[in-house]
Amino acid sequence: MIDWQSPKIRNGSQLLALFILGAILAGAAELPIGGWIQIPILSLIWWQLKKLNHLPLKNSFTAGIFFGLGYFVLGLWWIYISLHDIGGIHWTLSAIAVFLLATCLAIYFSVASLSIRIFKPTYLSGLLLAASWVLMEYLRGLLFTGFPWMGLAEAQFNGPFAPVAPLLGGLACTFLTVWISWEILQTRKHFFFSAIGILGVVILSQAASLFTFTKPIGEPLSIRLIQGNYEQSLKFNPQAVSEQIIFYAATIQSTPADLIVIPETAFPWPQGRLPSGLLDSLQHFSNVSSSNLLLGVIGEISGSKGLQYSNRALGLSPNSHLYQYDKSHLVPFGEFVPLGFHWFVKTFGVPLNNFARGAQDQPLFAIKKFGQDPIYAATTICYEDVFGGELASRLRNSAEPANLLVNMTNLAWFGASQAPSQQLRLSQLRSLETGLPALRATNTGITAVLGSNGKVLAQLPEFTQGVLSTKIQAYSGKTPYVIWGNTPILSISCLLLILGFIRQKRF
């Protein structure tokens, strides 16, 4: 007969519960009000973790790992598609790779949640947990080039703390999410105090939406975003590449607009080896139609290391020199090979390159419209949209005032998964943080136009070939987050932890 009260079985059940709760937390992010739903789920997770406080510290660490595993396995399973379906890696190795990545990311969650165990229970416990979480999320976006995907902040775009993003950024949204979820748990003991605190923080956060820091500038721009919907496997088929280039070139030149954007590597061929006359033809179209073009190409850079390729956005404006933006924050394994991992990349069935890394202080793209001052667009390429602090730094230090965000993306690597909707939320958060409208030109979706508040104004269906033609209003100005970056919320978090350790020693 099974002894269900056995410590091993009981602890195993708790670990399974944490894994399931982590998966539910990740799934909730995909819901229309996911940011609200995640808060009580987090409260349940803290409750489960507190139940393990009587066990050795390593048990609490393991429990945090299980919570993180459930969260990241469900949230990032689509990486399996790029490894197995596109890259040709055996399914077992692909599954192991996703599991190992989820485990590494779960460590950050586990370390952050240890504050429940390390600090003695006080009225500061929720603040200390939130501060620990913010610091670990910041490190997750920094160490080993960073991978902050699937943070709690982007779900808050559909949650109570979104209005805080223009003030203090996504990390501040994360801080409030963790803190309030802890205070919900405390209502069992201190109902009045915790309830007043929760209600007050939510009301103040919502009131922050009354403040605006950017304003419309100039006349609306006509735009065309072209979604080709080409399978990733075709990127390495010369005939298919030729057909893809012909499609984009013809569609660009079919109708003029103030700004026409095609996706990341929509011309999947080195710039110097594109079909003869292609760029000249597009430049001529730009000149005669007064259209500004942003093209996703493979750039070529000659330097001390010889000829290197880059993931490039190439800009053509009427009667102007070529503009280029080379992607600065590269994807590990996809665009550069970390030291010591070349053996791993050799197992792929597709050609990969060590792309050159663009500088972080590259100029903005000037959109020229007759009779008006230029409108400046800050370009990001795919993965760069994840790093809010880096984008804020670019805008803060730019010689030109940014009026518009443009993201060029190709998520065909990840098939029919939640990856496109996840990145859409990241783009929405970036618009909210900066107070600027955004354009998303993608290969398979989600191609969309976002307002300065991050709301979707127009979009194309996924996995369809089409053109999104509309108008967008440019904005000027800087939000407090663009001016200050993550410094305020990181400073607050560090001060809280210092206070926590001082109190710990005294009592």
Look up residue 262 and give its amino acid.
I
- Cα–Cα distance measured from residue 51 to residue 258, given in angstroms and rounded to the nearest whole number: 60
Give the H or E element holding residue 456.
strand 456-459
Secondary structure letter of residue 406 according to DSSP: E
Annotation says 104 is catalytic:
no
Of the candidates 476, 474, 475, 467, the residue with the CA atom closest to the CA atom of residue 257: 467
Secondary structure letter of residue 148 according to DSSP: -
CA-to-CA separations, 152 to 42, 51, 149, 175, 470, in angstroms, rounded: 10, 23, 9, 9, 32
Residues contacting residue 170 through CB under 8 Å, at least 6 positions apart: 151, 153, 154, 156, 388, 429, 433
Of the candidates 449, 314, 443, 468, the residue with the CA atom closest to the CA atom of residue 379: 314
- Say if residues 86 and 232 touch (Cβ distance below 8 Å): yes
* Catalytic choice (137, 154, 183, 264): 264
Tokens of 284: 């001529």
Of the candidates 135, 156, 225, the residue with the CA atom closest to the CA atom of residue 441: 225
Annotation says 382 is catalytic:
yes
Which residue in this structure is represented by tokens 């210092």?
A: 498
Count CA atoms closer than 13 A to 303's CA, side-chain side: 10
Annotation says 400 is catalytic:
no
* Catalytic choice (235, 382, 384, 390): 382
* Catalytic choice (327, 368, 369, 478): 327
Look up residue 21 and give its amino acid.
L
Q: Return the active site residues.
A: 264, 327, 382
